[in-house]
């Protein structure tokens, strides 16, 4: 009898001890991101479940926060010493956070476990801050030209070539856009093209000009080649009459995909991520490079995954970041058209096989892959956040919305932007 | 029970303090301390994370030489001048109409009050649609009169009037309700007496309604001005301060400085400029009120 009781107490103790010990061992990681699309949130959750099954000692709590307030919220949380262990960082904010000394230096870990040379050039330059790495690139996204094939067929026009080497020059492009613009009386029922204004720097770079000097200490939009490129964008709307006003989309509550679908616009410049939604729609879409002035170029960027310096579980956090940047995790989102891979190996013929999805990617999409591989880094990534913000929302809006001449605006803004660049 | 304890328990002030404590604590922690802290911060340079450096009056000097600040200040005044007088006149007219014994008056009152209880975000989104230059309702109606409407929210000239119209529409119901309450507090006997003396409807309005409504009017004016100086949400959603800063107001610029550019030191003086602006305007009105408000 006595023995039995002792046995029971011993057993209970054993159970108690074992459960409490596993409880002590399990680490809870806080992970914060924003919702780019419901689909992205879903695949993050699926990915996290996969990660937790592989690492039973780590539990990940994911909180999505609206993008507009994400970075200010993250910063206040850091100031309040309660930031998440792992988080997204928009590439435009990455350097601001790195400069504030709040991110874990991942240089050694990336070098030894992933290898920076395996990333495509634009992702490499994005990640490197004074030769150090504070965040791992999630993927790449680049502006491309989407078009509705039905509208081309109706006008009896041939599609834009997907091969960057064969893409039309600007004049040919404007010519086609004119043919795709349909008016009834004063009203334009179908516009030829929309979106260059939102990705204006691609046109500037395509004309052999630059937005800033190489060391980002001065703005260079006042140079004739840059002015010429900006003028071409203005002309699309004012002279050629093939493009609607800039906030066309926001004002209508429709997005690019819906504009193409409803035939309000025949061609659209948008980030490659739009393919995810376009692929689900019931009309044939095409993808092409942007038309060239001198060179066929695009730019790349995408958010990074970083670890907070104040995190108590840096090793576990690194495991998560490494998982999130693995090609395997990335491929799920590439297959649905939302992302493009950021590893060189994924652009070889064998690599492309791993993610190319005929249900999503149009037939000639493979001709376009080098375009993403060779993309330049988007200038917003390195320019300080405030300088870029003032440039795009205040100064350039004078050109887009207040009808001020390109020459006047680009020349008068120099001092202001240069000050902000060197602050 | 000891005498001392008894003394405390039967002391009224003790209970007053106890019951006021939760409210006061909230005020202290969430309002008073931040207000004082931001005053201190207005003399420093701070990005929320780094060290706080004392810079004296530099932030105030920057503000004075900052052309954006003056633009934003003017936009705030423009917005106030646009919303307050028009908003008050229209809501007063509505209140007078809805004070009559019309069939279904309660439904009308509810309808006009609906925008007040709707979320600003939803209201702003709907108005963005109305203002759409291509498919929007407003330009469609204008086109019936052969007028080509502007592209409201993307025009540097029309974006602010567009925001003002939305704000007036949204705030109408609240002022109307206050005026209605004021109107119903005016005894009918005055009007009867005036009618016997042969007063017309304008005389009744200007000699009876307006003076007896003046306390309500005073309250409505003060609150409307304060609210319009503090406007933020509809601007943040509808235009984001653009295009080319034509609709950016003080609070929006403050928000940008603090939470987009992370310059707490530069944001705090803007808050104090706003505070003194509201303070002075309110003070002047309080002084003036003796001349026209009848209690």
Peptide bond preceding A290: is omega within 30 degrees of 0, i.e. cis? no
Model confidence pLDDT, tens digit, residues B194-214: 888 888 888 888 888 888 999
Question: Within an 8 Å CB–CB cutoff, is residue B240 touching chain A?
Answer: yes
Model confidence pLDDT, tens digit, residues B113-163: 999 999 988 998 899 889 887 778 898 899 888 888 888 888 889 999 999
Question: Within an 8 Å CB–CB cutoff, is residue A2 touching chain B?
Answer: no
Cβ burial B48-77 (10 Å sphere, 16+ → b, else e)? beeeeeebeebbbeebeeeebbebbbebbe
Residue A10 lies in a domain: no
**Tokens standing for A293?**
């002035």
Question: Within an 8 Å CB–CB cutoff, is residue B136 touching chain A?
Answer: yes
A132 to chain B, closest Cα gap in Å: 20
B111 to chain A, closest Cα gap in Å: 26
Taking only the tens of pLDDT, chain A with its 423 residues reads 566 766 666 666 655 555 554 555 788 999 999 987 787 788 888 889 999 999 999 999 999 998 888 998 999 899 889 999 999 999 999 998 998 899 999 999 999 999 999 999 999 999 999 999 999 999 999 999 999 999 999 999 999 999 999 999 999 999 999 999 998 877 788 999 999 999 999 999 999 999 999 999 999 999 999 999 999 999 999 999 899 876 666 556 677 888 899 888 999 999 999 898 898 888 999 999 999 999 999 999 999 999 999 999 999 999 999 999 898 899 988 998 999 999 999 999 999 999 999 999 998 899 999 999 999 999 999 998 889 989 998 899 999 988 899 999 999 999 999 999 997
Contact between chains at B260 and A244 (C-beta distance less than 8 A): no
Going by C-alpha positions, the residue among B45, B7, B15, B8 that lies closest to residue B262 is B45
Question: Within an 8 Å CB–CB cutoff, is residue B125 touching chain A?
Answer: yes
A69 to chain B, closest Cα gap in Å: 9
| pLDDT score at A17 | 54
Contacting A residues, span 346-385, partner chain B, CB-CB under 8 Å? 385
Of B129, B244, B259, the CB nearest to A401: B244
| pLDDT score at A253 | 62
Contact between chains at B134 and A246 (C-beta distance less than 8 A): no
Residues A156 and A128 placed together within one structural domain of the fold: no
Model confidence pLDDT, tens digit, residues B10-69: 888 888 889 999 999 999 999 999 999 999 999 999 888 878 889 989 999 989 988 889
- Provide the sign of the torsion angle of the four alpha carbons A6, A11, A14, A20, taken in this order: negative
**Tokens standing for B182?**
């004021």
User: Chain B residues with CB inside 8 Å of A250's CB?
Assistant: 128
Quick check: helix, strand or coil at residue A376? strand
Question: Within an 8 Å CB–CB cutoff, is residue A12 touching chain B?
Answer: no
Question: Within an 8 Å CB–CB cutoff, is residue A96 touching chain B?
Answer: yes
Other CB atoms within 10 Å distance of the CB of residue A246: 24
- Given 3-state DSSP classes, what are the helix, strand and coil percentages for chain A, each rounded to the nearest 5? 50, 15, 30
Cβ pair A221, A212 in contact under 8 A: no
When the pLDDT of each residue in chain B is averaged and rounded to a whole number, the result is 89
Q: Hey, of B262, B263, B264, B265, which one would you mutate to test binding to chain A, going by the most A CBs within 10 A of its CB?
A: B262
Contact between chains at A96 and B131 (C-beta distance less than 8 A): no
Residues A331 and A224 placed together within one structural domain of the fold: no
pTM: 0.82
Question: Within an 8 Å CB–CB cutoff, is residue B253 touching chain A?
Answer: no
Residues A167 and A218 placed together within one structural domain of the fold: yes
Residues A276 and A311 placed together within one structural domain of the fold: no
Residue A9 lies in a domain: no
Question: Within an 8 Å CB–CB cutoff, is residue B62 touching chain A?
Answer: no
On the 0-12 / 13-18 / 19+ scale of CB atoms within 10 A, B236 is: buried
CB contacts < 8 A, A to B, total 86
Question: Within an 8 Å CB–CB cutoff, is residue B259 touching chain A?
Answer: yes
Number of domain units in chain A: 2
| pLDDT score at A16 | 58
Cβ pair B49, A79 in contact under 8 A: yes
A103 phi and psi angles, rounded to 5 deg: -110, 145
Question: Within an 8 Å CB–CB cutoff, is residue A225 touching chain B?
Answer: no
CATH number at residue A28: 3.40.190.10
Residues A150 and A263 placed together within one structural domain of the fold: yes
Residue A323 lies in a domain: yes
Contact between chains at A186 and B134 (C-beta distance less than 8 A): no
| pLDDT score at B101 | 83
Query: Which positions ≥6 away from B238 have C-beta within 8 Å?
Result: B124, B127, B128, B153, B162, B163, B166, B247
User: Chain A residues with CB inside 8 Å of B135's CB?
Assistant: 252
B115 to chain A, closest Cα gap in Å: 21
Residues A203 and A285 placed together within one structural domain of the fold: yes
User: Chain A residues with CB inside 8 Å of B154's CB?
Assistant: 245-247, 251, 400-401
How big is the CA angle at B59 (ends B55 and B61), to the nearest 5 degrees?
110
Residue of A nearest to B242 (CA): A393
How big is the CA angle at A383 (ends A381 and A385), to the nearest 5 degrees?
85
Percent of chain B exceeding pLDDT 90 equals 50
Residue A8 lies in a domain: no
Pick B68-292's CATH classification: 3.40.50.300, 1.10.3720.10, 3.40.50.261, 1.20.1250.20.
1.10.3720.10
Residues A331 and A352 placed together within one structural domain of the fold: yes
Containing domain of residue A214, as a range?
A: 143-297+384-421
Residue A127 lies in a domain: yes
Residues A330 and A411 placed together within one structural domain of the fold: no
Query: Which positions ≥6 away from B75 have C-beta within 8 Å?
Result: B160, B245, B246, B247, B248, B249
**Tokens standing for A129?**
């801050």
Contact between chains at B134 and A252 (C-beta distance less than 8 A): yes
User: Chain A residues with CB inside 8 Å of B125's CB?
Assistant: 253
Q: Outline which parts of chain B fall under CATH 1.10.3720.10.
A: 68-292
Residues A413 and A291 placed together within one structural domain of the fold: yes
Contact between chains at B261 and A251 (C-beta distance less than 8 A): no
Residues A66 and A190 placed together within one structural domain of the fold: no
Residues A193 and A284 placed together within one structural domain of the fold: yes
Contacting A residues, span 144-163, partner chain B, CB-CB under 8 Å? none
Strands A265-271 and A187-194: parallel
ipTM topping 0.85: no
Quick check: helix, strand or coil at residue A61? strand
Of A100, A253, A398, the CB nearest to B128: A253
Residues A256 and A312 placed together within one structural domain of the fold: no
């Amino acid at each position: 009898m006595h023995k039995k009781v002792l046995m029971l107490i011993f057993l209970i103790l054993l159970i108690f001890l074992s459960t409490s010990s596993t409880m002590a061992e399990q680490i809870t990681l806080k992970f914060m991101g924003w919702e780019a699309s419901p689909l992205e949130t879903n695949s993050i959750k699926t990915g996290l479940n996969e990660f937790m099954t592989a690492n039973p000692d780590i539990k990940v709590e994911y909180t999505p926060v609206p993008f507009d307030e994400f970075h200010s919220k993250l910063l206040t949380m850091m100031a309040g010493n309660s930031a998440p262990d792992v988080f997204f960082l928009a590439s435009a904010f990455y350097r601001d956070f790195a400069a504030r000394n709040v991110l874990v230096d991942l240089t050694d870990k990336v070098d030894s476990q992933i290898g920076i040379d395996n990333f495509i050039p634009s992702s490499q330059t994005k990640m490197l801050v004074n030769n150090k790495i504070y965040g791992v690139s999630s993927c790449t996204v680049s502006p491309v030209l989407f078009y509705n094939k039905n509208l081309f067929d109706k006008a009896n026009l041939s599609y834009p070539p997907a091969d960057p080497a064969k893409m039309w020059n600007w004049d040919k492009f404007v010519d086609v856009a004119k043919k795709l613009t349909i008016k009834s009386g004063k009203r334009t029922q179908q516009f030829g093209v929309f979106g260059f204004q939102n990705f204006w720097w691609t046109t500037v770079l395509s004309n052999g000009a630059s937005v800033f000097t190489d060391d980002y200490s001065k703005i260079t939009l006042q140079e004739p080649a840059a002015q010429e490129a900006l003028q071409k964008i203005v002309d699309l709307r004012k002279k050629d009459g093939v493009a609607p006003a800039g906030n066309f989309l926001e004002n209508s509550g429709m997005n690019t995909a819906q504009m193409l679908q409803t035939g309000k616009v025949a061609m659209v410049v948008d980030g490659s991520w739009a393919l995810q939604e376009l692929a689900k729609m019931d009309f044939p879409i095409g993808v092409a490079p942007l038309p060239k002035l001198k060179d066929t170029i695009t730019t790349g960027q995408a958010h990074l995954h970083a670890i907070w310096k104040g995190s108590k579980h840096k090793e576990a956090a690194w495991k998560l970041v490494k998982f999130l940047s693995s090609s395997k995790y990335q491929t799920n989102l590439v297959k649905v058209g939302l992302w493009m891979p950021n590893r060189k190996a994924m652009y070889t013929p064998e690599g492309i096989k791993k993610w190319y999805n005929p249900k999503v990617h149009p037939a000639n999409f493979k001709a376009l892959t080098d375009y993403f591989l060779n993309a330049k880094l988007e200038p917003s990534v390195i320019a300080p956040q405030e300088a870029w913000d003032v440039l795009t929302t205040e100064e350039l809006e004078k050109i887009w919305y207040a009808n001020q001449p390109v020459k006047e605006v680009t020349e008068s803004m120099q001092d202001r932007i240069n000050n902000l660049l060197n602050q | 029970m000891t005498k001392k304890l008894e003394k405390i328990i039967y002391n009224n002030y003790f209970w007053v303090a106890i019951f006021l404590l939760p409210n006061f604590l909230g005020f202290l922690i969430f309002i008073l301390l931040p207000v004082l802290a931001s005053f201190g911060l207005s003399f420093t340079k701070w990005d929320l994370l780094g060290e706080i450096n004392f810079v004296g009056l530099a932030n105030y000097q920057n503000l004075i030489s900052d052309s954006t600040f003056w633009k934003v200040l003017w936009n705030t005044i423009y917005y106030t001048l646009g919303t307050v007088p028009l908003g008050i006149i229209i809501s007063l007219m509505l209140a007078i109409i809805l004070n009559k014994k019309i069939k279904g008056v309660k439904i009308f009152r509810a309808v006009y009050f609906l925008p007040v209880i709707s979320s600003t975000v939803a209201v702003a989104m709907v108005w963005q649609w109305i203002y759409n230059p291509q498919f929007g309702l407003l330009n469609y109606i204008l086109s019936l009169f052969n007028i080509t409407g502007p592209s409201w929210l993307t025009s540097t000239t029309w974006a602010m009037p567009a925001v003002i119209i939305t704000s007036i529409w949204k705030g109408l119901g609240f002022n109307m309700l206050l005026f209605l309450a004021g109107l119903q507090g005016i005894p009918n006997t005055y009007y009867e007496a005036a009618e016997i003396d042969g007063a017309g409807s304008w005389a009744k309005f200007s000699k009876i309604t307006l003076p007896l409504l003046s306390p309500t009017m005073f309250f409505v004016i003060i609150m409307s001005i304060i609210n319009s100086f503090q406007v933020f949400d509809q601007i943040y959603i509808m235009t984001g301060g653009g295009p080319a800063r034509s609709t950016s107001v003080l609070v929006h610029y403050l928000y940008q400085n603090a939470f987009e550019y992370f310059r707490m030191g530069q944001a705090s003086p803007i808050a104090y400029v706003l505070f003194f602006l509201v303070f002075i305007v309110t003070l002047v009105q309080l002084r003036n009120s003796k001349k026209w408000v009848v209690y």
